[in-house]
Structure 1
């Protein structure tokens, strides 16, 4: 991967944190003053978190196919992550956002073990930073819901 492509990937990854941080801030700023807006922002943040969790699971499918790795674990994890992301969206925001925060951490824990085997270990520093901000945003948003 070229340096320009890598830089772009980093910028886009950090931009992907905007909905987490803004959503969390809005949940706390709106509070109980406007229940409709609060519910909308909570659902929007939960849906985004669910999409990100599903995306993280899908990376395992992509890397597994690209590297031609045998075995079921990357494929099973990809589906499990998507199902957990979906489940979190279906739950009440205070519970679903907490689940999303926990699943984001679980995704990172799985990635720490699997990425080096798949030739993607150099992405773990970025993954840690993204996970720290996204999961903290989910936990704080859950507390404000």
Structure 2
């Protein structure tokens, strides 16, 4: 007797668009960016330095985490198709190296003064998207680029607006 649960799940289409859950979670991930930018905009000069610094640090840390997450996405895209024993194709090598680079770049943004760090992180979110335009095509995730573009625009704008207020 064969159970339906034993049937393997269909493999994802290489250029498929993100499903509804992925889109919803992606947009929900903008909430800390938007809330952080609003709080920075509303609170600058109106509250004590310590609580304000907490808000700025929270936004900066979240932006760095997202940038690092986006770098890790490349590793996730390479892992299923990678041959860990033998030569690594050039596009996979680039994806792995840039994945690590974006984590280090995010860390650098956290070490900067807040106004510079937020501007840096906003710019690096854009740079990550531009790199992903090529990597996602090579790694079979081109259908995600529209969502990535929208999320990048909002997230980077929130970083820039916040940096300008500090």
TM-score (norm 2): 0.83
Structure with bigger gyration radius: 2
Gaps of 5+ in 2: 1-11, 83-87
Give the length in aligned residue pairs.
144
Bigger helix share = 1
Distance in 1 between residues matched to 2:52 and 2:45, nearest whole Å: 7
2:105 equivalent among 84, 88, 108: 84
Quick check: 1:42 aligned with 2:23?
Answer: no
Aligned counterparts of 1:116 and 1:30: Cα–Cα separation in 2: 42
Alignment of 1:1-145 (within 5 A): 1=12, 6-34=19-47, 35-68=49-82, 70-71=89-90, 72-145=93-166
**Distance in 1 between residues matched to 2:81 and 2:23, nearest whole Å:** 22
Gaps of 5+ in 1: none
Q: Distance in 2 between matches of 1:22 and 1:109?
A: 25
Q: TM-score, normalised by structure 1?
A: 0.94
CA RMSD of superposed structures (Å) = 1.6
Q: CA deviation at 1:67?
A: 2.4
Question: Contact between 1:30 and 1:37, CA under 8 Å: does it hold in 2?
Answer: no
1:70 deviates by 2.5
SS of 2:89's equivalent in the other structure is coil
Residues 101, 138 of structure 1: 8 Å contact kept: yes
